[in-house]
Amino acid sequence: MTYRSESFPVGAEATVGELENDPHPLLARLREHEPVSWLPAFGGWLVTAHAPALRVMRNAAAFTVDDPRFSTAQVVGPSMLSLDGRTHTRHREPFARPFRPARTRARFTAFVEAEVDRLVGGMAPAGRAELRADLAGPLAVAVVAEALGLEGVDAATVRSWYETFVTAVSDITAGRPGQAGDAYERLGAAVRDAISVPGSDSLLAEAAHQEEGLSADEVVSNAAVLMFGGIDTTEGMISNAALHLLAHPGQLDLVRADPALLGGAIEESLRFEPAASVVDRYATEDVEIAGARIAKGELVRVSIAGANRDPAVFADPDAFDVRRANAGDHLAFAHGPHFCFGAHLARLETAVALRALLDRLPGLRLVAGADVAPRGLVFRKPPSLPVIWEPAFTK
């Protein structure tokens, strides 16, 4: 691989640490000089430009997730996230149907609003909170627990399971050993209990009894996948959006003056720092993309974070602009057959949470000097998000 290091010198010097901590300067150099680059740190390719990222994600025939090296498959087994073609459709459709826009609004709006009201109401008198631990995380966990219908499983247990899964996937992506062990076994037992309840209308029971004929093991593996999308990335999405608004007071003032800009602010936050930073694919054939010759079987990692700041698509890409006209062209929910079907629910949760924060906590601001820079190789969010406000005026 010496010739690749010579052909892709920026990628040759890249480290996992850079990509975990502050990846954007490195991603910008790669995107400018090596938009598809060989990274020895990963033993694979990294795509950082928007156009080739779209090409990879849209073409499941040439760039597949169906490979035993796929990190999520190593942790939870075959699922909608690690399969392609007709088998992928069989796994995905029973879960995707309930998350179409109209059904999402009808099923979850009242629940999300009630949870946000409860969480923000509990925070309000204190005048300070840590938004990840006190709002974003509990809300995401509560919504997933409600959707999955895991009777008798409390939110803390659900959270401990998904944290185990996320850690295992992140470790494997970084080239370290990762496993879910006992957490996956306990999830499996809870899922089997849930789908055996007569007349249950839970998402799991609905999936288990569809004509697609998913086995209990397949329902379990997909339930674990829903925890990635429904908990970790939604917690990150809410936390990142709150951070971006509070860290840019001028942009926050625009949203306060015109609440209709909130949707644009959420899309811009997704572009600026997506909660899920990378997705993996494996080449099924020899292929050339953006001048890089990729061999069959090689890892092709798409940097969503890199593509979302491509200046060929987004003017002044390192600026956070809630009025950006094309912010919705981001790739934060991936693209192609593996587009995140929970996007509508994640947007709903984020919008309701942000509106409550801005409406009910006057003077809301970051704690001065707090370390809130997002981190993570795969899942990116601030390590904590401490904030203060004027409790005497809360309502």
DSSP state of 377: S
Give the number of residues written for the chain: 395
pLDDT for 394 equals 47
Q: Please give the average per-residue pLDDT across 145-169, as a whole number.
A: 81
In sequence order, the 6+-apart residues with CB closer than 8 A to the CB of 189 are none
**pTM assigned to the model:** 0.92
- C-alpha span between 157 and 152 (Å, rounded): 10
Q: Among all chains, which residue has been given the structure tokens 């987004």?
A: 314
381 closest CA partner among 279, 240, 276: 240
pLDDT 10s digits, 95-109: 888 888 998 999 999
- C-alpha span between 356 and 275 (Å, rounded): 21
* Helices marked H in the chain: 2-7, 9-13, 16-21, 24-33, 50-58, 71-76, 85-96, 101-123, 131, 137-148, 155-173, 182-195, 203-208, 216-227, 233-247, 249-257, 262-272, 304-307, 343-360
pLDDT for 257 equals 96
Q: Please give the average per-residue pLDDT across 347-363, as a whole number.
A: 97
65 closest CA partner among 376, 338, 274: 338
Judge whether 313 and 245 are in contact, CB under 8 Å.
Answer: no
* Helices marked H in 155-275: 155-173, 182-195, 203-208, 216-227, 233-247, 249-257, 262-272
Instruction: Give 55 or 99, the one with higher predicted confidence.
Output: 55
The CATH code for residues 2-393 is 1.10.630.10
pLDDT 10s digits, 358-382: 999 999 999 999 999 999 998 999 9
